[in-house]
Chain A
Amino acid sequence: MSQEPVVSLRQVTKRVGRHTIIDNLTFDVPQGEIFGFLGPNGAGKTTTIRMMVGLMSITNGEILIKGKNIKSQFEQAIRHVGAIVENPEMYKFLSGYHNLVHYARMIPGIPKERIREVVELVKLEDRIHDKVKKYSLGMRQRLGVAQALLHRPSVLILDEPTNGLDPAGIRELRDYLHYLTREEGITVIVSSHLLSEMELMCDRVAILQKGRLVDVKRIQEFMNTDDKAQTFLIEALPVEQALAIVREVEGVSGVKPVSEGIELIADRAVIPEVVSRLIEANIAIYEVRSVRQSLEDRFLQITGGEKIG
């Protein structure tokens, strides 16, 4: 497999009137990865996805999918893409099956067999001949995934795919996306506000804010950036005394009382020292653990708890 990126954005800018909605985005999505778009409401995730699939024009810059320009070589480029943009809106007056027939007809070379296959894949066999208007949101989401996979795309672009899925459905989707990337080499791009979801799902995330790219990193790198100074929680009684003692230890850069005990920011190496000091002072210790900073905390930290827009 070539290491050429499957999707690449080059200085992509989108202006509507005087507003710059997307400002100079440049990044590559490597093959076989699950790539996450993360950003607060209005950051421009959907807009970027719309440009990737040719629904919106690109003011400046270019987007390549498998080396094909989405603007000038639309038909060759979009052939490799399966997508859901925002909600999976289908023809409500048609059955799920006829919706799939509809999309299958638009791409040459999709046999009837393939429709059955994707229906099984998203577990809609029992309801596929019902009219879509009778579907629940989760069922429509599944049908959306089915239509996106019909033509065996190289890139699957899903805008908030977990929206409306129950926990079991989210898990299924996650497993399925992992399967697609690992076994079939498909590249997946997802956007989401469910940060915890991203953490479990993605290999790499791009953080967007106000139309700008803040950062692109592998998910592990996000987790480990502040390796030296980590946060620890010590459940100890009495709290006041413990606080006073811990504050004195060299290498501890911050201490504060929290509901469970005290929280300190320190080098991992000084923790044994902290614990032995507490024991010397006859303080009862119930638990010591490192508080892993979640992606959510990191995210809020990076974007500064940014307000919408």
Chain B
Amino acid sequence: MVSLILNENMKLYRRIRTWVMVVLMIGAVLLGSFMEWHYDDKSMQGDGWRTEIADEQRQMQQGLSSPDMGDDTKRYYQDQILINDYRLEHDIRPTSGTMWDGINGSAELIVLITLFTVIIAGDSLAGEFATGTIKLLLIRPASRFKIWLAKYLSLILFSLMLLCILFVVSVLFNGLLYGFGWMNLPLLEVNGSGQVAEYNMVANLWKTYLLNGVSTIIFVSMAFMISSAFRSSTMAIGISIAALFAGAILMELLQAYDWSRYLLFANIDLSQHLSGRPYQEGMTLSFSIIVLAIHFAVFNLVSWLVFTRRDVAA
């Protein structure tokens, strides 16, 4: 099994295409971080944050006293005020003006990881059929299931590699831009019992990464399934990318319909449950996880069944 994964990795990393993606990934992190830093409000840097926070507190207090405020916004304001008090009291600055601001911002670029991995996944099986190399691949003493699994795992490894690149590059580059200060700055959040709690910044960052990674895995499974079923890279990549970008728009259109909560795209962003604003009222984290798990299972089952059963006539 290990040697099969080594093979897949060899086929992956000895292609220029893969390295173009890696370079694009690094480039996007550099550019994104630089732009954010460049247009940043510099008053938050250094010790300027105290006055800024004090200002913010005043504004939010005023806002709270206005009668026409929604419940959600009200709760948000109250939480922020608690957190800001905690900051001033314990001398814990906000992330703005530190490298963490830039690092957390670049977590958005995970969508690029999804995009690149989907492209490779879509081509992974279909490409072997198109070039005919599938024939020599399948006439070895390795079951089709193992070959399928090795390909799948190599895709997951590829996305993990991109994730590590994202992390390392964004830490290093934002460190250079903002200075490597406040390394141990905690993340402040109001917990369930209404108290401000301190969390580890890096742990939280990886939590964001992995939650987004769930959607990467779902999209990759989808591309891999289409690749296996239709044996066409163009189709697999096209459909998956369309889904990746059109999914959110589609869900906005369907939000009024109750049944839309069972759709894949309503659940693919798990961070909706962390922020407490799910797609529809009443959706829970476990509900989303079940919907995602079912999709994951179906995609992979179809992809595996089709790949191991069908004749190779390429």
Name the residue among A56, A87, A94, A102 with the largest chain B CB count within 10 angstroms. Answer: A102
| Cα(A101)–Cα(B6), bound, Å | 10
| Cα(A140)–Cα(B217), bound, Å | 37
Report yes or no: B136 in contact with A101, Cβ–Cβ below 8 A.
no
CB distance from B252 to the nearest CB of A (A): 41
Instruction: Pick from B11, B138, B313: contact of A94, CB below 8 A.
Output: B11
Report yes or no: A81 in contact with B14, Cβ–Cβ below 8 A.
no
| Chain A residues whose CB sits within 8 angstroms of the CB of B3 once the complex forms | 105-106
Stretch in contact with the other chain, from B92-100, B111-119, B139-147, B183-191 = B139-147
Report yes or no: B15 in contact with A93, Cβ–Cβ below 8 A.
yes
Q: Is A103 an interface residue (CB 8 A)?
A: yes
| Cα(A219)–Cα(B141), bound, Å | 33
Interface set, chain B 121-168, CB cutoff 8 A to A:
131-133, 135-143
| Cα(A98)–Cα(B16), bound, Å | 16
CB distance from B310 to the nearest CB of A (A): 8
Report yes or no: B313 in contact with A56, Cβ–Cβ below 8 A.
yes
Name the residue among A57, A85, A101 with the largest chain B CB count within 10 angstroms. Answer: A85
Instruction: Pick from B133, B142, B312, B313: contact of A75, CB below 8 A.
Output: B142
Report yes or no: B312 in contact with A55, Cβ–Cβ below 8 A.
yes
| Chain B residues whose CB sits within 8 angstroms of the CB of A103 once the complex forms | 136, 140
Interface set, chain A 177-210, CB cutoff 8 A to B:
none
Name the residue among A55, A88, A101, A103 with the largest chain B CB count within 10 angstroms. Answer: A55
| Cα(A75)–Cα(B144), bound, Å | 10
Interface residue tally on B, bucketed by range: 20 to 34
Report yes or no: A102 in contact with B135, Cβ–Cβ below 8 A.
no
Contact A147 B136, CB 8 Å, known A89-B131, A106-B142: yes
Contact A107 B139, CB 8 Å, known A102-B10, A102-B11: no
Q: Which residue of A lies closest to B137 (CB)?
A: A106
Q: Is B243 an interface residue (CB 8 A)?
A: no
Interface set, chain A 104-134, CB cutoff 8 A to B:
105-107
| Chain B residues whose CB sits within 8 angstroms of the CB of A107 once the complex forms | 140-141
- The secondary-structure label for the interface of chain A is loop
Instruction: Pick from A56, A89, A93, A105: contact of B132, CB below 8 A.
Output: A89
Interface set, chain A 293-308, CB cutoff 8 A to B:
none
Q: Is A174 an interface residue (CB 8 A)?
A: no
Mark A63-102 against chain B: 1 for CB-CB distance below 8 A, else 0.
Answer: 0000000000011101101011111111111100010011
CB distance from A91 to the nearest CB of B (A): 6
Q: Is B4 an interface residue (CB 8 A)?
A: yes
| Cα(A53)–Cα(B195), bound, Å | 67
| Chain A residues whose CB sits within 8 angstroms of the CB of B132 once the complex forms | 86-87, 89
Report yes or no: A101 in contact with B139, Cβ–Cβ below 8 A.
no
Number of A-B contacts (CB under 8 A): 77
| Cα(A78)–Cα(B141), bound, Å | 6
| Cα(A90)–Cα(B132), bound, Å | 8
| Chain B residues whose CB sits within 8 angstroms of the CB of A50 once the complex forms | 311-313
Q: Is B7 an interface residue (CB 8 A)?
A: yes
Contact A55 B143, CB 8 Å, known A85-B135, A93-B14, A94-B10: no
CB distance from A9 to the nearest CB of B (A): 17
CB distance from A98 to the nearest CB of B (A): 6
CB distance from A205 to the nearest CB of B (A): 24
| Chain B residues whose CB sits within 8 angstroms of the CB of A169 once the complex forms | none
Q: Is A164 an interface residue (CB 8 A)?
A: no
| Chain A residues whose CB sits within 8 angstroms of the CB of B139 once the complex forms | 53-55, 78, 81, 83, 85
| Chain B residues whose CB sits within 8 angstroms of the CB of A87 once the complex forms | 132
| Cα(A79)–Cα(B140), bound, Å | 7
Instruction: Pick from A54, A74, A98: contact of B10, CB below 8 A.
Output: A98
| Cα(A86)–Cα(B312), bound, Å | 12
Report yes or no: B312 in contact with A56, Cβ–Cβ below 8 A.
yes
Instruction: Pick from B131, B135, B138, B143: contact of A86, CB below 8 A.
Output: B135
CB distance from A182 to the nearest CB of B (A): 25
Q: Which residue of B lies closest to A83 (CB)?
A: B139
CB distance from A2 to the nearest CB of B (A): 22
CB distance from B128 to the nearest CB of A (A): 9
Contact A79 B141, CB 8 Å, known A102-B10, A105-B3: yes
Name the residue among A87, A88, A89 with the largest chain B CB count within 10 angstroms. Answer: A89
| Cα(A74)–Cα(B312), bound, Å | 15
Q: Which residue of B lies closest to A93 (CB)?
A: B15
| Cα(A205)–Cα(B261), bound, Å | 65
| Cα(A102)–Cα(B136), bound, Å | 10
| Chain B residues whose CB sits within 8 angstroms of the CB of A78 once the complex forms | 139-141
Contact A98 B14, CB 8 Å, known A56-B312, A75-B143, A106-B4: yes
| Cα(A56)–Cα(B139), bound, Å | 11
| Chain A residues whose CB sits within 8 angstroms of the CB of B4 once the complex forms | 105-106
| Cα(A50)–Cα(B311), bound, Å | 9
Contact A90 B136, CB 8 Å, known A55-B312, A56-B312, A79-B141: yes
CB distance from B58 to the nearest CB of A (A): 62
Q: Which residue of A lies closest to B131 (CB)?
A: A89
Report yes or no: B142 in contact with A91, Cβ–Cβ below 8 A.
no
5 more contacts with CB within 8 A, not counting A50-B312, A56-B312, A89-B135, are A54-B139, A55-B312, A57-B311, A74-B143, A75-B141
Seen from chain B, the residues whose Cβ lies within 8 Å of a Cβ on chain A are 3-4, 6-7, 10-11, 14-16, 131-133, 135-143, 309, 311-313
22 inter-chain pairs at a CB distance below 8 angstroms, sorted by A residue, are A55-B139, A56-B311, A56-B312, A74-B141, A75-B141, A75-B142, A76-B141, A78-B140, A78-B141, A83-B139, A85-B135, A86-B132, A91-B11, A92-B131, A93-B11, A93-B15, A94-B14, A98-B10, A102-B11, A103-B140, A106-B141, A107-B141
